[in-house]
Amino acid sequence: MKKLLFSGLSLGLGLLLGGGANSASAQNLSPEVLSAVAQGYQGTSADKALRNALNTTAINTLAINAENAAMIDTEFSDRVKTMGITDQKQSGRCWLFTGLNVLRAAAIEKHGLGMFQFSQNYNFFYDQLEKANLFLQAVIDTRNKPMEDREVDWLFSNPISDGGTFTGVANLVMKYGVVPAEAMPETFVSNSTSQMASQLKNLLRQGGLKLRETPKGMKAKQLPEYLQSQKVEILKDVYHVLALCLGVPPSTFQWKGKTYTPQEFYQEMVGYSLNTDYVMLMNDPSRPYYQVYEIQYDRHLYDGQNWLYVNLPVERIKEMAIASIKGNDAMYFSCDVAKFLDRTKGVADLNNFDYDSLLGFKNTMDKAQRVQTHASGSSHAMTLIAVDIKDGKPVKWMVENSWGERAGYKGNIIMTDEWFDNYMFRLVVDRQYVPSDVLQMLSKTPIQLPCWDPMFLGEE
């Protein structure tokens, strides 16, 4: 026993003194380790020149690849008819602009319209109200779990946002209909949502804490009714804030001399079921393909649908995308937009920036590894409208963006096919363009992923 004790003391002393390959000094940034690490910068003439440049210039500016400076060819073999570029401004509503732009293209084609937009503000009002209800009811459903529970912690970390997915567009439009832009125009707050979002989050977190409390002396059978009444009171405050910031959504309106309800307007302008006529596809190589997945709480309405998708190889998704474009049907498309995007030209190309030469290290992660490590994911939704096919294969694609007509290439972004492979994630396609083997997969019981999964990323 004494011998073991002495050995333990000797080992501890060795660690404190920094001896051995597995010593504490090797585990920490000790002076020895720091000295070794500092050899990463040699201070060569090239290092000094780059350091001087980076002292006053952004990394992306210096990383621009001069060998790829020429503008990409802007001609496309196949393109959907669209009209006008929208602008989400300082808001995270790209998912809503994209979804309504898909419907707008269909309405313009169906009715031969000129410039026309649906009101994003109208559907955004109900999006925020429905998300507030989703959070509060989820708090009621989980009120017996401790605050430290991961699901409860996630809920209070994410009570509401202005991001979303096509599922939200589908559920909101089918429940509340649509109105033309002039029936509920944008406001300063709808165009710049961060301050309203901050206030709504505080309101909901405060309300959520109250819903987790049980009044003294309350009988168990009285509790459900009490909780629902308290939830309604909190939602009244939410509605009040939304009405002040966004306006009151119309129940009826006039358009071209006729009176409509929002639901009647949708049926006349578009008419098909967004909940059943579209299939949501994903390219997530970190998980098995040809499986159906569903993400917990990845929805906008408590009684709505979670984001449910078929995970497919990118080549299968391209086949459906090309068929849809050739059929003159625009698609909801989402990607990791910021990666290798030249915002000035409006071109997404893996050769746009040469970070390796500038910073001296090579990023070797593939798409699956980027997803697993949270280095990449679906961050922005746009409307896929064009493909350029040469020798039977796509060489580039184009999306209609919602950053205004001055952003990118005439308000659009052109993507090389290689970029598409690496940073495209989601596509929503009309069922008529989906092969039977993919449609049959939807009959499978979906694999549910938790709300903290990397794929739970609302497009903004």
pTM of the prediction?
0.89
pLDDT classification of 27: cutoffs 50, 70, 90 = confident
Identify the pLDDT of residue 84.
86
CA pair distance 441, 437, nearest whole angstrom: 7
In 3D space, the residue among 137, 251, 125 whose CA is nearest the CA of residue 189 turns out to be 125
Model confidence over 217-258: pLDDT tens digits? 999 999 999 999 999 999 999 999 999 999 999 999 999 999
**Residue 160 maps to a domain:** yes
Residues 249 and 280 occupy one common structural domain: no
Residues 278 and 261 occupy one common structural domain: no
Per the annotation, the verdict on 401 as an active-site residue is yes
Q: Which residue has the tokens 């209070």?
A: 156
Kind and range of the H or E element at 201?
helix 194-211
CB–CB of 81/105 below 8 Å? Answer: yes
Residues 208 and 148 occupy one common structural domain: yes
Residues 250 and 124 occupy one common structural domain: yes
Identify the pLDDT of residue 458.
65
8, pLDDT greater than 60: no
Residues 210 and 329 occupy one common structural domain: no
**Residue 431 maps to a domain:** yes
Q: Among 239, 269, 299, where does a domain finish?
A: 269
Residues 285 and 158 occupy one common structural domain: no
Per the annotation, the verdict on 300 as an active-site residue is no
CB–CB of 388/395 below 8 Å? Answer: yes
CB–CB of 167/332 below 8 Å? Answer: no
Neighbours of 27 (CB within 10 A): 10
Identify the pLDDT of residue 2.
43
Residues 284 and 155 occupy one common structural domain: no
Residues 207 and 247 occupy one common structural domain: yes
**Residue 9 maps to a domain:** no
**Residue 16 maps to a domain:** no
Q: Among 269, 291, 313, where does a domain finish?
A: 269
User: Is residue 142 helix, strand or coil?
Assistant: coil
Q: Name the catalytic one among 401, 412, 422, 451.
A: 401
Number of folded domains in the chain? 2
Identify the pLDDT of residue 336.
96
User: Is residue 425 helix, strand or coil?
Assistant: strand
Model confidence over 280-297: pLDDT tens digits? 999 999 999 999 999 999
Per the annotation, the verdict on 380 as an active-site residue is yes
Give, in degrees to the nearest 5, the angle at Cα 87 between 427 and 65.
70
Residues 249 and 312 occupy one common structural domain: no
**Residue 293 maps to a domain:** yes
Q: How many residues does the chain have?
A: 460
CATH code for the domain in which residue 166 is found: 3.90.70.10
Mean pLDDT over residues 382-406, rounded? Answer: 95
Contacts (Cβ under 8 Å, ≥6 apart) of 218: 226
Kind and range of the H or E element at 258?
strand 258-260
Residues 298 and 444 occupy one common structural domain: yes
How many helices (H) and strands (E) in the chain? 18, 14
Identify the pLDDT of residue 12.
43
**Residue 185 maps to a domain:** yes
**Residue 56 maps to a domain:** no
Q: Domain of residue 390: give its range.
A: 68-78+273-449
Of 10-24, 82-96, 151-165, 215-229, the poorest mean pLDDT is in: 10-24
pLDDT classification of 7: cutoffs 50, 70, 90 = very low
pLDDT classification of 386: cutoffs 50, 70, 90 = very high
Identify the pLDDT of residue 161.
95
Mean pLDDT over residues 441-460, rounded? Answer: 85
**Residue 61 maps to a domain:** no
The fraction of the chain above a pLDDT of 70, given in percent, is 93
Residues 353 and 255 occupy one common structural domain: no
Q: Among 234, 253, 269, where does a domain finish?
A: 269
Residues 121 and 263 occupy one common structural domain: yes
Q: Name the catalytic one among 101, 245, 380, 412.
A: 380
CB–CB of 388/76 below 8 Å? Answer: yes
Mean pLDDT over residues 383-410, rounded? Answer: 95
The DSSP symbol for 73 reads: P
Q: Which residue has the tokens 């989400």?
A: 88
212, pLDDT greater than 60: yes
